[in-house]
Structure 1
Amino acid sequence: MPPEPPQRDNPERERRRERRYSRDENNDRDRERRRRRGHRATDSDGHLLPRPSPRHHRQSESEHDSPSPRKKRHSHQGETSNRSGSRSRGSAPLSLDSLAKLDKHNAKKAGWGGYDYDEDYLKDVRQKEARMEKERLKVEKEQRKKERELAKEAEGRRRAYESDVAAEEQVRIKREKQREEREQREQSRRRAYTDDEREERKRRYEARYPPSERAERRERRREERRHRTEDKKRRVVSGPLAEEGGVDDEYEYQYMAGKRGGAGSALTEYTDEDLAKRKKIKRILIGVVAVLLILAIIIPVAIMVSKKNNKDPESVASQNADKPANSNLDGISESDIPAGAKGTILDPFSWYDTGDFNVTYTDATVGGLPTMGLNSTWNDDVQANEKVPNLQDTFEYGKMPIRGVNVGGWLNIEPFITPSFFEAYGSKDGIVDEWTLCTKLGSRCKATLEKHYSSFVTRQTFVDIRNAGFDHVRIPFGYWIVTTYDGDPYIKQVSWRYLLRGIEWARQNGLRVNLDLHGAPGSQNGWNHSGKQGVIGWLNGTDGDLNAQRTIDIHGQLSQFFSQPRYKNIVTMYGILNEPRNVDLDTDAVLKWTEKAISTIRKNNITGVLVFGDGFMGLDKWQGKLQDDDNLLLDVHQYVIFNVDQLSLDHTDKLNFACQGWKQQSKRSMDKTTGFGPTMCGEWSQADTDCTQYINNVGIGTRWEGTMDTGNASTSILDPQCPGGKSCSCGEATADAGQYSDAYKKWLYQFAVAQMLSFEYGWGWFYWTWDTEKAPQWSYKKGMAAGIMPQKVWDRGFDCPQQLEDFGKMGLPENY
């Protein structure tokens, strides 16, 4: 029981003390006033203790009684201010925390528990200050960035203005030169006349015009010559000559006098004072024009900066149409990112796009690959459509047809899919693939490609794929998604988090994923979509074995990562390597490497379907090879345009080959007595020519028109390969899909459906590809929009009949 407070003789003082230490916790107004009031030490009876004397280095009255805890926190520990403003070393003043503790101690001695407010108040203030400081730094950062951008824009406008002025001057000089050349030609022509011709011309002229009219015409010509001379001098004075101080004052005096007096008038006398006034006016006008130009630059900049200062960072960021808002960064601080991670792939503040990523920092890895960006939970209770099972249920491969689509040209660049990356360069630049593109761009390659990763495939892409009736997505990528090696210009691991985000978007739409290693170290085929066009350096050449082992190591990391439980239901197909060109490699070495890759992947607990390429050997040649793994799938890619024999078929025969030829191939390959066994078509398109820009590499012509000059006689095709082999044109094949004839649209639709039907005699198919910048015959999305693809992949309206229509008789030209 607390001791009874001592009695006092002054009742009024007792009442004030009771009001001051009231225990009413509901009195918010009194509590707030109590928080804001400064504190001084008291004795056990509540009386103020005397202030420390100046000789003990007390604080000034203004600092000691300051109501703001922030001021107290900014004071220098161990220093006090004397009256003259200088600082002397001494004992530290009591902090707010110390004063609060002293209050509590004295109150406790007096038998009163007191209010517990000082610590909470200080904590609240510190939190508010931290938030305000964080917000201030963020706003300053955004402001500095915007100011740099505005300054850059202003510099661009200035340079553009100077360029326009220079261009106009060049045009003026060119026109003046042309006029002088015309005059010289005219004078030469006149001098070329003989005396007899001149006499004859004079006689005709005098007979045509009477003497008075001749005199008038002579005077008019003199005036015209004089004005041309004056105009020429005037233009010279207003040009570079004036800037260099080359103005002739005497000429200017005479010229201006003539202008004032009018054409043909006598020159007027001007005094030196008049000339001085004119020069002064000219200088004033030049100054006014300069001020107006400066204001034209400064005012827009000031307005934009002012608008930015009046808006919060999120709203400003959202106005930048070229960059995602990245609003999920608002909840974290850059100080939360360790110093060693700043600017790396683990730093979300260095990412171009943070949408749908978990931006909470983590350095956790699986198989040496970062999990940064992933959420800790996921939901597999999703079904793509009524034709396929829920992700949580088993997809019965071999019984249910795969109906999938590639998202090619996204995480590894292909020139014909995104020609905009290559059109800006000439043949001398040699920009033909991702290797040469990144070499050319240098440090700008990261920003360029990350912007492409962010925009070429989005969340809506997977929604649209699901709505089209697909149930699988094949995602190609290059080895640089995992690592790079000395001398590589590729951007290391930036595409990794976009792959992980794409898989999550596929999950949200019930789409199963086929991972596809599209480019191996050294290039497995020498084609541009492997990353580097030219020599095959995988299993071949000086570094062939090294690159083979590097590819195994990459699979070691990938298979560890994707064997996590979160990927069991979604990553159900795992591609070993896209299109190794076995016909130009040692086939036995490729088989041994494939067996080693399978062993590595299985050892890391990947239990799904493993996919390997046919290597262009022909499906029948895989009978008896690699048949020990029951969950291994042979992948063949079928196109008519890269085979001159198939390319040269007319439209009806091409359609018949799709209906019957590929059907029989699928059936033969699915039979282990005649082929490998499980077989699918991982790539195909509805293109019937190789006319698409860059389809045969950048700067290479076409087989169709006979312009495919590779620089190698053994691979060049310089004779037209369209049916008939004459007058072959790419006109209609490369036209906008909306301009296709009805007969051509009908054929393209039936050709696509026929391939779907034939490949479903195997395990199914993946169309190449979902979207392109220009080529509608290679884009399922553009094909749907043009009416040459089914709106649902299973709703086709065509089946391969016994007798096909004759498209030639329907008016469809065979050579365009």
Structure 2
Amino acid sequence: MPRDSPRRDHEHRGERRRSRAENDYDRDRERRRRRGHRATDSQGDLLPRAPREPRHSESERDSPSPRKKRHSTPGESTSGSGSRSKGSAPLSLDALAKLDKRNQKKAGWGGYDYDEEYVKEVRQKEAKLEKERLKAEREEKRKERERIKQAEEKRRAYESDVAAEEEGRARRERKREERERERERKRGYTDNEREERRRRYEEKYTPSERAKRRERKREERRHRTEQKKRRVISGPLLEEGGNDDDYEYQYMMEKRGGAGSAPTEYSEEELARRKKIKRILIGVLSVLIVLAIVIPVAVMMSKKNSSDNVKSEASANTNKPSNSNLKDISESDIPDSAKGGILDPFAWYDTEDFNVTYTEETVGGLPIMGLNSTWDDDVQANEKVPNLKEEFEYGKMPIRGVNVGGWLNIEPFITPSFFSAFSSRDGVIDEYTLCTKLGESKCKQTLEQHYSSFVKKQTFIDIRNAGFDHVRIPFGYWAVTTYEGDPYVAKISWRYLLRGIEYARQNGLRVNLDLHGAPGSQNGWNHSGRQGIIRWLNGTDGDLNAQRTLDIHNQLSQFFSQPRYKNVVTMYGIVNEPRMVDLDTKSVLTWTQNAIDLIRKNNISGVLVFGDGFMGLDKWQGKLQEDDKLLLDVHQYVIFNTDQIKLKHTDKLNFACKGWTAQSRRSMDKKTGFGPTMCGEWSQADTDCTQYINNVGIGSRWEGTMNTGNVSTSILEPQCPTNNNPKCSCESANADPSNYSDAYKKWLYQFAIAQMTSFEAGWGWFYWTWETEKATQWSWKLGMKAGILPGKVWERSFSCDDEIEDFEKLGLEEFY
């Protein structure tokens, strides 16, 4: 028989090795059988008896197996492991698992039943890895964008430098040409003479010779410059030689008697002229030196005198508080633990009208630091309302109040200066992002100065003089506390709130406390503190923020139940404008009832105010009827509704007179509405053209530029009554009031009176707001000054019973 080929010989050797392995395996299994043990798989389960199988290859032993869940047969043990005889080749767990799989398959088993928990764990790990990969990828993209941005900025800077250099070169060239023309004018050269000099110069020298001469001239200029630097006397000196053009230089050399050579001798007239110029320059220089010494000294003395005047007249300076009451106490009176904090008056920007005697006493966990121990309620706002010590008969006498919005919580359209300083890339759109951008220290400094100056003692005097009897004070929850991650200025506005209440008391004004911003934001609008998602009673932290708001009311209601506030804080707001159209109605009602119970438990006996939630007044019939001193608060504007903003001016006036009056009366009747109802906010605005009224960087419904980035909320078609024909424009609405037409002023006045009349069919009203930086139609103070609001709130030169004029015929445009 011929000898096998090498390949065949290799196969025979492989078969022999496998045979020996099988025999070893059989012997090993027999020994285990005699000892009373059987092999187990990778999970510790017994392997079933099966025909002999060849050993696994190395690749099979190394292959991974997933985590599995075995179905045990009755009577089979699921613990322990098989023992092997001494000297037998050990089998790996993976090899046993593979062998187990084949044996079970031959025995008719259908496969593994994977552990769901294991699969879930694997998927979670995979998801986590994918998330980390995407995060790393985004970070890399961000870094790449940053690198591109930096490169682009460097490129722009380089191009700017190049452009500046080119511009400077061109400017120098223009000046040189002007000097040259001036010299020629003085010398009396004509154009023909100049052209002749150029021709003669170019004929005499070749281009290469001219280049050499130019280089030599540059060297001479450099040499002269160096010589000037070595002179003791500095200043403008007359240069010797020609100008920047070689042909002119050559001509001057020829005139002085030596082509191409610098002059070494001058005529007597020339020397006398040069000496005269030199004496003049030295004289001018001396005068300049004297002035350089005298002027700075005079300025320094002036500054010193000015500084002394500021110090001596600090109390008269309305821009910076005098803080003169700090001289009566010592910083040593402040404990080290309180220094620099909210209880340290030396750390306050403004101490005017505060009690600066240190105390750590609190009520409801809120500090009384800054309050005087005595107060006087024997004050009457005006002859139309009772003294503070007497009861205000709510429901019988109308509330005529005004808000001080934009003071203790920032609202962009009221104080646009806080936001216009930033670009759209900064993303500063509310108080949250403003403080995030400024940082803790800068935001504290900025906002405390605002708290001190935007509403002052004179503000409440002016409000009283305008005839008001109530003031609504909006504030954010950060006056009481802040939470992890909050960028708001914590607790500083609290003492200004307390001082404002004392100013109101001094003028006989009753106060409506208004929690304008709740934890998580109750409506997602910028005046709640944070624009965007509603996180109050909604989302992951909805319940947490609901409880936080109750905790805040627990503190507030304990504090304002003190006897000193009984006569002045007569109205207590639960939460401003909860956006119930986007929240679960039942959840809001349950929370509101819980808040009412808590506040009453803490002995607040005044009127409790809750918002209508934008559901419509008619939908509140029969709800929250347990408390007879509960007041429904509705906010009425014609500009945030596309149906109302499109009404012509005469129709808007009719709607204010009749529509809102009918709504107030229906709501006041418990058969058709809730019962006690008032309007807590309204204005004169007939368009939404005011800057930032629809959020920072967002346009208007009026012009059709309100692009919110959301198709469902954007208004990209003009909404003025003319349907953009003629074209809708905000120009006249945003004009200075001095430029208002007589017809427009008349309409604005009547529109205001109509609203006051309608809301007094209920419990009354609060105008929004007292002061703005520039939005006249939103400011009672600016409206009075412009003559579009009455001097006293009860003065009326228009009645809804009068015949309403056609303002279009009076010349009032409907498109502006």
Q: TM-score, normalised by structure 2?
A: 0.68
Partners of 2:362 and 2:282 in 1: how far apart? 70
Tell me the equivalent position of 2:628.
630
Partners of 1:399 and 1:559 in 2: how far apart? 26
Partners of 1:731 and 1:320 in 2: how far apart? 37
CA, structure 1 residues 180+594, in 2 after alignment: closer, same or farther (shift >3 Å)? same
CA, structure 1 residues 756+427, in 2 after alignment: closer, same or farther (shift >3 Å)? same
Partners of 2:515 and 2:715 in 1: how far apart? 31
Q: Describe the superposition over 1:369-405 as per-residue Cα deviations: whole angstroms up to 9, x where unpaired.
A: 1111110000000000111000000000000100000
Q: Describe the superposition over 1:101-130 as per-residue Cα deviations: whole angstroms up to 9, x where unpaired.
A: xxxxxxxxxxxxxxxxxxxxxxxxxxxxxx
Q: Describe the superposition over 1:118-152 as per-residue Cα deviations: whole angstroms up to 9, x where unpaired.
A: xxxxxxxxxxxxxxxxxxxxxxxxxxxxxxxxxxx
CA, structure 1 residues 351+183, in 2 after alignment: closer, same or farther (shift >3 Å)? closer
Q: Describe the superposition over 1:560-580 as per-residue Cα deviations: whole angstroms up to 9, x where unpaired.
A: 110000000000000000000
CA, structure 1 residues 720+254, in 2 after alignment: closer, same or farther (shift >3 Å)? closer
Letter in 2 for 1:256: E
Instruction: Find the residue that maps to 2:400 and give its secondary structure.
Output: strand
Partners of 2:605 and 2:291 in 1: how far apart? 72
Q: 1:336 aligns with which of 314, 325, 333?
A: 333
Letter in 2 for 1:408: G
Q: Describe the superposition over 1:288-341 as per-residue Cα deviations: whole angstroms up to 9, x where unpaired.
A: 989987986677457655886x78x96274486642111111111111111111
Of structures 1 and 2, the larger Rg is shown by 2
Letter in 2 for 1:389: P
Q: Describe the superposition over 1:511-560 as per-residue Cα deviations: whole angstroms up to 9, x where unpaired.
A: 00000000001100010000001111111111111111110000011101
Tell me the equivalent position of 1:768.
768
Equivalences for residues 388-467 of structure 1 within 5 A? 388-442=385-439, 443-467=441-465
Quote the offset at 1:610 in angstroms.
0.2
Partners of 1:222 and 1:654 in 2: how far apart? 87
Quote the offset at 1:422 in angstroms.
0.7
Identity %: 70
Tell me the equivalent position of 2:813.
813
Tell me the equivalent position of 2:20.
none
CA RMSD, Structure 1 to Structure 2 (Å)? 4.0
Quote the offset at 1:175 in angstroms.
4.5
Q: 1:546 aligns with which of 527, 540, 544?
A: 544
Q: 1:385 aligns with which of 382, 385, 388?
A: 382
Partners of 1:759 and 1:793 in 2: how far apart? 13
Q: Tell me whether 1:621 sits opposite 2:599 in the alignment.
A: no
Tell me the equivalent position of 1:256.
240
Partners of 2:479 and 2:544 in 1: how far apart? 19
Q: Describe the superposition over 1:731-761 as per-residue Cα deviations: whole angstroms up to 9, x where unpaired.
A: 1111011110000000000000000000001
Quote the offset at 1:368 in angstroms.
0.8
Partners of 2:406 and 2:689 in 1: how far apart? 18
Instruction: Find the residue that maps to 2:512 and give its secondary structure.
Output: strand
Q: 1:358 aligns with which of 355, 358, 368?
A: 355
Q: 1:177 aligns with which of 170, 189, 192?
A: 170
Instruction: Find the residue that maps to 2:591 and give its secondary structure.
Output: helix
Quote the offset at 1:803 in angstroms.
3.4
Partners of 1:223 and 1:742 in 2: how far apart? 77
Instruction: Find the residue that maps to 1:474 and give its secondary structure.
Output: strand
Tell me the equivalent position of 2:10.
none
CA, structure 1 residues 680+175, in 2 after alignment: closer, same or farther (shift >3 Å)? same
Tell me the equivalent position of 1:677.
675
Q: Tell me whether 1:268 sits opposite 2:252 in the alignment.
A: no
Tell me the equivalent position of 1:206.
none
Q: Is the 8 A contact 1:257 1:269 kept in 2?
A: no
Partners of 2:286 and 2:337 in 1: how far apart? 53
Q: Describe the superposition over 1:74-99 as per-residue Cα deviations: whole angstroms up to 9, x where unpaired.
A: xxxxxxxxxxxxxxxxxxxxxxxxxx
Structure 2: tracts of 5 or more residues without a match: 1-159, 178-189, 203-209, 257-261, 266-280
Instruction: Find the residue that maps to 1:448 and give its secondary structure.
Output: helix
Which 10-residue stretch deviates more, 733-742 or 290-299? 290-299
Structure 1: tracts of 5 or more residues without a match: 1-166, 185-211, 271-281
Quote the offset at 1:218 in angstroms.
2.8
Instruction: Find the residue that maps to 1:766 and give its secondary structure.
Output: strand
Partners of 1:300 and 1:214 in 2: how far apart? 55
Q: Is the 8 A contact 2:319 2:453 kept in 1?
A: no
Quote the offset at 1:256 in angstroms.
3.4
Letter in 2 for 1:219: R
Tell me the equivalent position of 1:781.
781
Partners of 2:665 and 2:603 in 1: how far apart? 31
CA, structure 1 residues 217+792, in 2 after alignment: closer, same or farther (shift >3 Å)? same
Tell me the equivalent position of 2:750.
750
CA, structure 1 residues 721+553, in 2 after alignment: closer, same or farther (shift >3 Å)? same
Letter in 2 for 1:750: Q
Quote the offset at 1:217 in angstroms.
3.7
Instruction: Find the residue that maps to 1:340 and give its secondary structure.
Output: coil
Q: 1:218 aligns with which of 196, 219, 240?
A: 196
Q: Tell me whether 1:370 sits opposite 2:354 in the alignment.
A: no
Partners of 1:257 and 1:383 in 2: how far apart? 90
Quote the offset at 1:219 in angstroms.
2.6
Tell me the equivalent position of 1:709.
707
Q: Tell me whether 1:687 sits opposite 2:685 in the alignment.
A: yes
Instruction: Find the residue that maps to 1:487 and give its secondary structure.
Output: coil
Partners of 1:477 and 1:294 in 2: how far apart? 55
Q: Is the 8 A contact 2:631 2:677 kept in 1?
A: yes
Q: Is the 8 A contact 2:512 2:573 kept in 1?
A: yes
Tell me the equivalent position of 2:737.
737
Quote the offset at 1:425 in angstroms.
0.8
Q: Is the 8 A contact 2:702 2:729 kept in 1?
A: yes
CA, structure 1 residues 246+534, in 2 after alignment: closer, same or farther (shift >3 Å)? farther
Letter in 1 for 2:479: I
Q: Describe the superposition over 1:157-187 as per-residue Cα deviations: whole angstroms up to 9, x where unpaired.
A: xxxxxxxxxx999868514237879999xxx
How many residues were matched structurally? Answer: 604
Instruction: Find the residue that maps to 1:517 and give its secondary structure.
Output: strand
Partners of 2:218 and 2:294 in 1: how far apart? 33
Q: Describe the superposition over 1:340-369 as per-residue Cα deviations: whole angstroms up to 9, x where unpaired.
A: 111111111111111111111111111111
Partners of 1:643 and 1:804 in 2: how far apart? 23
Quote the offset at 1:216 in angstroms.
5.0
Instruction: Find the residue that maps to 1:461 and give its secondary structure.
Output: helix
